[in-house]
A and B are shown apart, each in its own frame.
Chain A
């Protein structure tokens, strides 16, 4: 802790030193990845693995696209992620609307059914779902990669919470103005919960893009590997081709880096949802 009473300037300098040291700790692994991606793998090892690039090969990213089929993997990831995000948003908004604004028999039972899925993440149901896909011949297919994720309890809860924040008098006013359910949903409820919906989209994207276990086992052909799954080949790659795998990892992280930079607020709100509210 700071001894800010004695010398503010010194204390400030101390904080900068600490913050820089911590930044180094966080960034060192990233630096190593970039370093290894750019260096010629064999030369780098031959030089005794220094902390600076060796014989930088800037075309490694192009090579990753041309030789390691990175473009196809990225395309598949993008497709799968888009489908999951868009459909999750739709199913979550609709279900959240029903739970927040409508009265109907068996509401509690259905809500419990949604809550229950929190105990059934894909890791638990992996084996059975893979068998289902095998039966349906959906291994190595877009529907196989996406269908299990077309709805999410997290999204339903989050958006329902947002909808519940719409003041009662506003709903009454809308009723009197003659809004039907769909109109109210799209013209009032959704615009009013835009920040929460934004957070959900960001978190949903994060989750879908980063998935590993399901796409790993819902596919058994290399041509159906998402970019995350493609990264696993690093362990079996020839040493002289390691830089391509490292470059692929950098490319795989770029969309999320962009997300973090441009949608930081939504991401923070989404990640902390549940933490502060409980």
Chain B
């Protein structure tokens, strides 16, 4: 088993820089999720691990071997694709065994092969479908065949590129659990690409957030959620996304940010100096409605979204739209009403509006 290390890895397609100086250490046995919006370069990063794209610059290591120029079939990795990429003309059994047949180095004798196919099929509950062709399977079954084909070769690293995006919502939730379970059982390194933050949050040991080809932050899901490194991560992780308010740090303790629509108390001002402009970030659940006249920002309720288990108040404050997450038990303001919103000071994030980096 082995981890994967990117050292200043860059990938260029002509003028397009798809991955820009990526430095990232995927630990041995870890479930690492590469998360980012469409086109940010996460598939490219994954395909470089697989050897499907050449590294333009930097060092890529699997285990303790630099693999920049190692051909894909010699890298000891397996990959699950978004479209599953099953051979349509082969039976499930032949699909699963194909890495053991096609790859000269991985070839094993027929008995061993059959044993391993059986084992992989059993792991994923595919025994009864071994004789069928992919076209005769449901989407979820095909997905499992792709997984079986990956595990049959017992690779050092599993690579998955949005493997759940072709499944319906219910199946996606179920397969998420199964993948986590599979990871636990195999104990192998997983590198998993997705743009779905729920997948990332629920499955990952650690998340690497990527935007525009650059790494934004790496960390455990909860850590990334609680301490987003910059405005991008703050806005990308969490649903509904973090509210942002521009303001000026007022002198004095405890610190506060003065915005056109009111004051936001901050427990930790970090490196934010007095009288500088900052962006205050507040998660919807950290905002609450306080009695009129209290300290906070004042705005007008534009909409109340009822979600059953909770409510979202959409409040407009001097051009900014803030979303407040409320429990059903709390009193509901009416649409059009003016409300005062206060943030929990220990949960206010401060960002530099110019560089967008975190200040506290």
* Complex: A in contact with B (CB within 8 Å): yes
Given the complex, which residues of B lie within 8 Å of A176, measured CB to CB? 50-52, 72-73, 77-79, 99
Binds B, one of A18-26, A99-107, A164-172, A217-225: A164-172
When C-beta atoms are compared, the residue in chain B nearest to A178 turns out to be B103
The answer to the question of B170 belonging to the interface, with a C-beta cut-off of 8 Å to chain A, is no
The answer to the question of A192 belonging to the interface, with a C-beta cut-off of 8 Å to chain B, is yes
The answer to the question of B104 belonging to the interface, with a C-beta cut-off of 8 Å to chain A, is yes
> With A and B bound together, what is the CA distance between A256 and B87 in angstroms?
34
* B87 close to A170 (CB less than 8 A): yes
CB distance from A39 to the nearest CB of B (A): 52
* B99 close to A167 (CB less than 8 A): no
The answer to the question of A174 belonging to the interface, with a C-beta cut-off of 8 Å to chain B, is yes
> With A and B bound together, what is the CA distance between A38 and B82 in angstroms?
65
| Secondary structure call for the A interface | helix
> With A and B bound together, what is the CA distance between A174 and B51 in angstroms?
13
Per-position 1/0 for B65-96, Cβ under 8 A of A: 00000001100011101110111110000000
Given the complex, which residues of B lie within 8 Å of A192, measured CB to CB? 87-89
Quick one: which of A170, A172, A183, A191 has the most chain B CB within 10 A?
A: A172
Cβ 8 A contact of B102, one of A167, A170, A179, A191: A179
The answer to the question of A177 belonging to the interface, with a C-beta cut-off of 8 Å to chain B, is yes
The answer to the question of A264 belonging to the interface, with a C-beta cut-off of 8 Å to chain B, is no
Cβ 8 A contact of B81, one of A169, A179, A194: A169
Given the complex, which residues of A lie within 8 Å of B103, measured CB to CB? 177-178
CB distance from B117 to the nearest CB of A (A): 14
> With A and B bound together, what is the CA distance between A177 and B77 in angstroms?
10
Quick one: which of A173, A175, A188, A192 has the most chain B CB within 10 A?
A: A173
When C-beta atoms are compared, the residue in chain A nearest to B53 turns out to be A172
Cβ 8 A contact of A177, one of B82, B83, B88, B102: B102
Given contacts A172-B79, A191-B89, contact A177 B98 (CB under 8 A): yes
Given the complex, which residues of B lie within 8 Å of A170, measured CB to CB? 83, 85-87
When C-beta atoms are compared, the residue in chain B nearest to A172 turns out to be B52
Given the complex, which residues of A lie within 8 Å of B88, measured CB to CB? 192
CB distance from A225 to the nearest CB of B (A): 43
> With A and B bound together, what is the CA distance between A167 and B82 in angstroms?
12
When C-beta atoms are compared, the residue in chain A nearest to B146 turns out to be A173
> With A and B bound together, what is the CA distance between A183 and B90 in angstroms?
14
Given contacts A170-B87, A173-B85, A192-B89, contact A178 B77 (CB under 8 A): no
Quick one: which of B50, B85, B106 has the most chain A CB within 10 A?
A: B85
Given the complex, which residues of B lie within 8 Å of A172, measured CB to CB? 47, 50, 52, 79, 81, 85
B side interface size, CB within 8 A:
25
The answer to the question of B309 belonging to the interface, with a C-beta cut-off of 8 Å to chain A, is no
CB distance from B18 to the nearest CB of A (A): 16
The answer to the question of B185 belonging to the interface, with a C-beta cut-off of 8 Å to chain A, is no
A side interface size, CB within 8 A:
18
* B73 close to A177 (CB less than 8 A): yes
CB distance from A33 to the nearest CB of B (A): 43
* B73 close to A175 (CB less than 8 A): yes
CB distance from A201 to the nearest CB of B (A): 18
Cβ 8 A contact of A178, one of B81, B99, B149: B99
> With A and B bound together, what is the CA distance between A192 and B87 in angstroms?
8
CB distance from B47 to the nearest CB of A (A): 8
> With A and B bound together, what is the CA distance between A174 and B149 in angstroms?
11
Given the complex, which residues of A lie within 8 Å of B99, measured CB to CB? 176-178
B residues 26-68 near A (Cβ < 8 Å) are: 47, 50-52
> With A and B bound together, what is the CA distance between A216 and B81 in angstroms?
56
* A169 close to B72 (CB less than 8 A): no
Given the complex, which residues of B lie within 8 Å of A188, measured CB to CB? 87, 89
When C-beta atoms are compared, the residue in chain A nearest to B79 turns out to be A176
When C-beta atoms are compared, the residue in chain A nearest to B161 turns out to be A169
Given the complex, which residues of B lie within 8 Å of A167, measured CB to CB? 83, 85
Cβ 8 A contact of B72, one of A175, A183, A191, A194: A175
Given the complex, which residues of B lie within 8 Å of A183, measured CB to CB? 102
When C-beta atoms are compared, the residue in chain A nearest to B105 turns out to be A178
Given the complex, which residues of B lie within 8 Å of A174, measured CB to CB? 87, 102
B residues 101-140 near A (Cβ < 8 Å) are: 102-106
> With A and B bound together, what is the CA distance between A118 and B77 in angstroms?
46
CB distance from A77 to the nearest CB of B (A): 34
Given contacts A170-B87, A172-B52, A188-B87, contact A178 B102 (CB under 8 A): yes
CB distance from B301 to the nearest CB of A (A): 48
Given the complex, which residues of B lie within 8 Å of A187, measured CB to CB? 102
Cβ 8 A contact of B73, one of A169, A178, A191, A194: A178
When C-beta atoms are compared, the residue in chain B nearest to A192 turns out to be B89
CB distance from A50 to the nearest CB of B (A): 57
Given the complex, which residues of B lie within 8 Å of A177, measured CB to CB? 73, 98-99, 102-103, 149
> With A and B bound together, what is the CA distance between A188 and B51 in angstroms?
20
Per-position 1/0 for A36-47, Cβ under 8 A of B: 000000000000
> With A and B bound together, what is the CA distance between A44 and B20 in angstroms?
88
> With A and B bound together, what is the CA distance between A183 and B102 in angstroms?
8
**Interface set of B (CB-CB < 8 Å, partner A):** 47, 50-52, 72-73, 77-79, 81-83, 85-89, 98-99, 102-106, 149
8 further A-B pairs in the complex, CB-CB below 8 A; given A178-B104, A188-B89: A172-B79, A173-B81, A173-B85, A175-B72, A176-B50, A177-B149, A180-B102, A192-B89
Can you list 19 A-B contacts (CB < 8 A)?
A167-B83, A169-B83, A172-B47, A172-B79, A172-B81, A174-B87, A174-B102, A176-B51, A176-B52, A176-B72, A176-B73, A176-B77, A177-B73, A177-B103, A178-B102, A183-B102, A191-B89, A192-B88, A194-B89
Considering the complex of A and B, which 8 residue pairs feature the smallest CB-CB distances, nearest first?
A178-B103, A173-B85, A178-B73, A169-B85, A169-B81, A191-B89, A177-B99, A178-B102
